[in-house]
Structure 1
Amino acid sequence: MSARPAPWTVGVLFGFVGMLGFSGTLAATRVAVADFSPLAITCARIVVAGLLGGVTLVLTGRTALPERRHLVAIAVMGLGLAVGYPFFLAVALQSVPAVHGAVVTGLAPAATAIIAVFRAGERPPPVFWLACAIGLAAVLTYAYDAGGGAFSVADGWLLLALLCLGLAYVEGGRVSTELGGTTTLCWAMLFLTPFAAGPLVWSLRGVDLASVAPWSWVSMAYLGVVSMFLAAIFWYRGLAAGGIARIGQINLLLPLAALVWPALFLGETITPTAFICAVIVFAAMMVCLKARVRRRA
């Protein structure tokens, strides 16, 4: 009889699948902002994910409301993941290429790890922080190179997006250990749907839907179904199984995976610096994954 895999190994698998689902977010958002406003994109993602979440809760028989002690964390998770992150991301990608945004998203693991220390009681060892710092240095170097030797205002919007994402990962990861990643995500999206439906209709009032490019519709569908719902389910299950700080480092690969989509579909160029960054970031991620993360009592 074969031994069962360690929980953190399962967490890595789920986290990696979730990361791949997230990797197309920047390219899809870059395409969608050509026809839709950041508000429309943000609200559409919530409504689509909320409808899918409601169906999932009914099919799985988990229609009982979460306990009151979970509501605040679920709300913070939903606001960070479905409101703050996609809105600030869409604003930034109105003025910078998806490749630039993909690079800056490499800061997400650092934000997640730091917030996890204060909110989830996790205590990564020194080697964890050293590897994280090396990975971040590589990402920042690449971001500086990709920006032509300067940072733009869009980088500020991207940083705000990452702070929202890190907080959402930590709060969602904490609740997911008790409710499960799927249930947590479904309730978060379902709670936000009534507040997003009205603004979605309002933001589309001046849009000629008949003239919207087909790829913009495809991008919107991807953002709502895959990026906002399916990938998030895998990601939160990974955080719950493997630990927030450790699994959060898988996102160090996100900017590198996200570079592929703009190159394939948007014709954006990947510079030689990307390859060097890929090697450094991958090595740093492996060290972080193998580090033993302790929890405070």
Structure 2
Amino acid sequence: MLAFSGSFPATVYAMRGFDPWLVAVGRAALAGVLALVCLRAGGRPLLPRRADWPSYALISGGVVFGFPVFSGLALALGAGTAHSAVVIGLLPAATAACAVLRASERPRPLFWAACAAGAVAITAFTLIQGQGSASWPDLLLVAALLSAAVGYTEGARLTRQTPGWQVISHVLVFSLPVTAPVTAVLALTTPIMITPEAVAGLAYVAAISMFLGFIPWYAGLARGGIARAGQTQLTQPLLTLLWAWFLMGERFGPATVIAAVAVLVCVAVTQRART
């Protein structure tokens, strides 16, 4: 979560010099090159077993394309880093639901009660901020978190048989036939302004958010149970708020802090409600 918590600020930095579509797809292409190197160095096949291709297509659609594209567009349309971080706090609830559907997990009622409380806190925060209605950036953020939930669940399910670093590496290499040419076209047709912060932001979302962060994340989900371990994502909004304040000077009101603390309490309860 510490690795993923810097994704939104880094994305904002990257979009100060690169087109949002280029950031969304280019991060996966750059991470795919890193994955190729790792698989070669580890003496592993570059592609997964053909029987697992449908699962890898699901993961790719969720974490390679869905989450980066939807969240990047939301930020480009004016969703603040702090606001986006709190809305994405709904992700643990979505991950838990996917764990029930795809991984045959059955959490206890107390787990669902705490999970629902966190979801209610985030929903109330979103409606208050939007004066009673959800904006287009909010809807894009919801699409992003649903995409991530699918990718997280399917990746963790595969990690039960395959090391997490191989799973995310295969996902990125599996996606390269799409991400590489699209990145090349966007790099040639969209305006680019090379600045240190833009390059640093793109490097972060490619190396950390898109690749290295997934290695311990998939391992943790596979070992701790997808639904239960996935609730640690509720700490991500609070961490991202700290980054938004420290790196970008964003200011947020009491409602933002209350919502972030509420989901932090909910994660403590979910961790006590074992599956």
Please tell me whether the aligned partners of residues 30 and 97 of structure 1 are also in contact (alpha carbons under 8 angstroms): no
- Percentage identity across paired residues of the two chains: 38
The answer as to 2:45 corresponding to 1:63 is yes
What does residue 33 of structure 2 align with?
51
Please tell me whether the aligned partners of residues 85 and 161 of structure 1 are also in contact (alpha carbons under 8 angstroms): yes
What does residue 240 of structure 2 align with?
258
Tell me how far 1:286 sits from its aligned partner.
1.4
The answer as to 2:113 corresponding to 1:130 is yes
Tell me how far 1:65 sits from its aligned partner.
4.3
2:251 to 248, 259, 269: 269
What does residue 9 of structure 1 align with?
none
The 5 A counterparts of 1:93-132 are 93-95=75-77, 96-132=79-115
Three-state SS of the structure 2 residue aligned to 1:93 is helix
2:136 to 145, 150, 153: 153
Please tell me whether the aligned partners of residues 63 and 151 of structure 2 are also in contact (alpha carbons under 8 angstroms): yes
Please tell me whether the aligned partners of residues 107 and 162 of structure 1 are also in contact (alpha carbons under 8 angstroms): yes
The answer as to 2:272 corresponding to 1:290 is yes
The answer as to 2:227 corresponding to 1:245 is yes
Tell me how far 1:272 sits from its aligned partner.
1.9
The answer as to 2:145 corresponding to 1:162 is yes
Please tell me whether the aligned partners of residues 67 and 143 of structure 2 are also in contact (alpha carbons under 8 angstroms): yes
The 2-side partners of 1:55 and 1:146 are apart by: 44
- Could you give the per-residue CA deviations for residues 129-168 of structure 1, whole angstroms, max 9, x where no partner exists? 0000111122222333444554211111111111110000
Please tell me whether the aligned partners of residues 88 and 158 of structure 1 are also in contact (alpha carbons under 8 angstroms): yes
Please tell me whether the aligned partners of residues 74 and 175 of structure 1 are also in contact (alpha carbons under 8 angstroms): no
Q: Partner letter of residue 285 of structure 1? A: V
Structure 1 residue ranges, 4+ long, deviating more than 4 angstroms after superposition:
none
Q: Partner letter of residue 25 of structure 1? A: S
2:180 to 187, 193, 197: 197
Q: Partner letter of residue 72 of structure 2? A: A
Using the TM superposition, name which of 257-266 and 182-191 deviates more: 257-266
The 1-side partners of 2:76 and 2:194 are apart by: 17
**Structure 2, gaps ≥5 residues long:** none
Three-state SS of the structure 2 residue aligned to 1:204 is helix
Cα RMSD of the aligned pairs, angstroms, is 1.6
Tell me how far 1:208 sits from its aligned partner.
4.8
Tell me how far 1:269 sits from its aligned partner.
0.7
Please tell me whether the aligned partners of residues 21 and 231 of structure 1 are also in contact (alpha carbons under 8 angstroms): yes
The 2-side partners of 1:58 and 1:254 are apart by: 33
The 2-side partners of 1:150 and 1:267 are apart by: 27
Using the TM superposition, name which of 259-268 and 269-278 deviates more: 269-278
The 2-side partners of 1:159 and 1:37 are apart by: 22
- Could you give the per-residue CA deviations for residues 162-189 of structure 1, whole angstroms, max 9, x where no partner exists? 1110000111111111112111000000
2:196 to 207, 214, 217: 214
Three-state SS of the structure 1 residue aligned to 2:76 is coil
The answer as to 2:12 corresponding to 1:30 is yes
Please tell me whether the aligned partners of residues 62 and 151 of structure 2 are also in contact (alpha carbons under 8 angstroms): yes
**Structure 1, gaps ≥5 residues long:** 1-18
- Could you give the per-residue CA deviations for residues 256-286 of structure 1, whole angstroms, max 9, x where no partner exists? 1111122122221122223323332122111
- Could you give the per-residue CA deviations for residues 110-134 of structure 1, whole angstroms, max 9, x where no partner exists? 1111111111100011000000011
Distance 1:139 1:287, change over 3 A: same
Please tell me whether the aligned partners of residues 238 and 261 of structure 2 are also in contact (alpha carbons under 8 angstroms): no
Please tell me whether the aligned partners of residues 113 and 245 of structure 1 are also in contact (alpha carbons under 8 angstroms): yes
Please tell me whether the aligned partners of residues 31 and 219 of structure 1 are also in contact (alpha carbons under 8 angstroms): yes
Give TM-score scaled by structure 2 length.
0.94
Give TM-score scaled by structure 1 length.
0.87
Q: Partner letter of residue 225 of structure 1? A: A
Tell me how far 1:87 sits from its aligned partner.
0.3
Tell me how far 1:64 sits from its aligned partner.
6.6
The 1-side partners of 2:96 and 2:74 are apart by: 24
